[in-house]
Each structure stands twice: as C-alpha cells, then as structure tokens.
Amino acid sequence: MKDIDPKTPIWKLTVEEFLEVSKNITAEEKYEYGLKGLAKILGCSVSKASEVKSSGILDKAIIQNGNIIIIDKEKALALFAQK
C-alpha cells in the first residue's frame, strides 16, 4: 500500500486506505508501559502490579531497560491466566 500523507483528511481516504490506517492504530495498542500500564492490564493497584512483576510470572511478556518497562498485553494476560 502506498504511504498516506498524515495531513490527508479522513473523508478523502478510500475504504482500503482507511482500513490500512486502522490496522496501524490497533497495532500500536498492543503494549502498555510502566507499572501503571501493568496495573491497568491486570485491573489492580500499582503496588499489586509491582508484586506480580517481581514474582517473575510475567517475565516473558515484559521488556525492561533500566526504569523503562514495556508490557505485551496479550502475552501478559495469557501468562497471568496460567498461574
């Protein structure tokens, strides 16, 4: 698919272009960030999210570099459901 100019009004997009843009938006929502993001995924407090993260059960769903934490939502929920 061709690159769509970000300044193009939505009403000028074809259905195909709109669907392509929509796919890109949903792909970006695959991740949450930080302990607040993990708490949002699990529906718990930040302190409980910190406990769960420290337990190691979600290690395969979490990428951490220093203080930056990136969580794959689907993996985290699947791993949490297993435990």
68-72 and 62-65 beta bridge pairing = antiparallel
> What is the amino acid identity at position 58?
L
What is the reported pLDDT for 40?
94
What is the reported pLDDT for 26?
58
pLDDT for residue 4 is more than 60: yes
What is the reported pLDDT for 78?
94
Here the tokens at position 10 are 């939505």
What is the reported pLDDT for 39?
96
Encode pLDDT of 33-48 as tens digits: 999 999 999 999 999 9
What is the reported pLDDT for 5?
83
